[in-house]
């Protein structure tokens, strides 16, 4: 399958938020929205959920996954984000901002 025009168009939107619709059913048929992180010759990567920044960048204020900051307790764990990889051959369309 020739996907030259699709990959060219996708590459112009790397770093932007897009919604990608695939030829699949169920929840995936509603599309995937995220920041377009990479385009290869056979797939794309969307960052669909960003992880949060570390609460304890120095590490010294955390013990057993919990730390104190100005007397308030906070969780020092880091929630990972999520990446969705979509094969180009399954993309039906994608939506991006006009500007």
Domains, in order of start, for the chain: 4-52+79-95 (2.30.30.100)
Q: What's the pTM?
A: 0.69
Q: What is the C-alpha separation between 29 and 23, in angstroms, rounded?
A: 7
Q: What is the C-alpha separation between 56 and 68, in angstroms, rounded?
A: 10
Per-residue pLDDT of the chain (99 residues; tens, 9 = 90+): 555 688 999 999 999 999 999 998 777 778 999 999 999 999 999 999 888 776 666 655 555 444 444 444 455 555 678 999 999 999 999 999 887
Contacts of 90 (CB under 8 A, 6+ apart): 22, 23, 24
């Amino acid at each position: 399958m020739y996907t030259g025009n699709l990959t060219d168009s996708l590459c112009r939107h790397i770093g932007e938020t897009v919604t990608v619709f695939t030829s699949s059913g169920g929840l995936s048929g509603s599309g995937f929205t995220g920041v377009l992180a990479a385009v290869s010759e056979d797939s794309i990567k969307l960052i669909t959920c960003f992880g949060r920044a570390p609460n304890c960048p120095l590490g010294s204020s955390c013990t057993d996954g919990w730390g104190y900051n100005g007397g308030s307790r906070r969780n020092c764990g880091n929630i990972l984000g999520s990446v969705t990889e979509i094969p180009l051959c399954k993309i039906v369309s994608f939506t991006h901002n006009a500007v």
